[in-house]
């Protein structure tokens, strides 16, 4: 499921990341501690699990260098756990004022196996400091990385903080699923979509994730982010191992969601997303 979440958070039409543009400057101050988002994951309408993200203030010991802590929890549905295998994962990332990660921790239970990873950012001498284990036994983890490397959760927030101008490039280096990936793409057009929480005016972000150690492994997806000051990812659709996975925002208690009123469709010549993306 980690690879699924990776594809849903970052992906799209193949765009070159070379020469790599300088990543847009984003600030952690635009996010408010206390935010909680809950997503439902499905394949062809069949519930497969949930994904939750929260943003918190850092503990007092970390406040001198950190601005936020982002946390996530992903788990399979009861049906999937019973028939195909249980997955439950917890991630926390300590974030600096520039929304770059400082410390990443992941705990995963997949079937009977327990896996954990701790990663320190930024990389030093071209390597990320990483400590990994499976069922308590240390596992080697060698991660080549550049100074722009970040993790999945900080990428989730980075995409929300991007300028919403169509064509704004995205070129990132991301740690996920014990591997390093390049993320290439761009901000796409504005589209109105219908979701379980209502109808929203959104900006579509298109990206492609390619594994650095094996360019044949790619993950692509599209993410729809509300075109307002909250920049909430409300829907993401991606393909993983031949299956189309969809994530839909189903709870955002403190988000003050602003839905759009129904209005006649404009004849722009551009294809509309339609309700098939959401509900």
User: H helices within the chain, ranges in order?
Assistant: 2-9, 78-83, 152-161
**CA-CA distances (angstroms) from residue 155 to 7, 10, 95, 181, 262?**
12, 8, 11, 12, 32
From the list 2, 12, 41, 4, the residue with the least C-alpha distance to 235 is 41
Q: What confidence tens digit (pLDDT) does each residue in 217-256 have? A: 988 889 999 999 899 999 999 877 677 889 999 999 866 6
What is the pTM assigned to this prediction? 0.83
List of domains in the chain: 2-251 (2.40.360)
Is 261 exposed, middle or buried (CB count within 10 Å of its CB: 0-12, 13-18, 19+)? exposed
For Cα atoms 11, 13, 15, give the angle at the middle one, nearest 5 degrees: 95
- Cα-to-chain-centroid distance, residue 144: 21
Q: What confidence tens digit (pLDDT) does each residue in 111-152 have? A: 899 999 999 999 999 999 999 999 999 999 999 999 999 999
- Region at 182 (left for phi over 0; alpha for psi -120 to 50; beta for the rest): beta
């Amino acid at each position: 499921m980690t690879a699924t979440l990776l594809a849903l958070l970052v992906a799209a039409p193949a765009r070159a990341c070379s020469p790599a543009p300088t990543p847009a400057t984003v600030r952690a101050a635009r996010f408010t501690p206390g935010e909680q988002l809950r997503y439902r994951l499905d394949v062809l309408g069949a519930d497969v699990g949930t994904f939750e993200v929260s943003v918190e203030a850092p503990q007092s010991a970390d406040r001198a260098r950190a601005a936020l802590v982002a946390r996530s929890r992903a788990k399979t549905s009861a049906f999937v756990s019973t028939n195909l295998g249980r997955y439950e994962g917890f991630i926390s990332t300590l974030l600096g004022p520039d929304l770059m990660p400082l410390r990443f921790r992941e705990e995963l239970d997949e079937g009977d196996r327990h896996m954990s990873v701790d990663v320190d950012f930024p990389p030093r001498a071209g390597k990320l400091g990483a400590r990994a284990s499976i069922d308590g036994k240390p596992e080697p983890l060698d991660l080549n990385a550049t100074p722009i490397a970040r993790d999945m959760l900080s990428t989730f927030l980075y995409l929300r903080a991007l300028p919403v101008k169509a064509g704004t490039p995205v070129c990132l280096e991301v740690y996920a699923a014990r591997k390093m990936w390049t993320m290439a793409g761009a901000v796409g057009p504005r589209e109105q979509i219908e979701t379980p929480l209502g109808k929203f005016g959104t900006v579509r972000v298109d990206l492609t994730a390619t594994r650095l150690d094996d360019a044949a492994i790619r993950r692509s997806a599209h993410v729809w982010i509300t075109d307002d000051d909250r920049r909430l990812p409300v829907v993401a659709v991606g393909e993983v191992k031949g299956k189309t996975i969809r994530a839909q925002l189903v709870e955002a208690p403190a988000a003050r969601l602003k839905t759009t009123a129904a209005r006649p469709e404009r004849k722009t010549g551009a294809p509309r997303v339609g309700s098939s993306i959401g509900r």
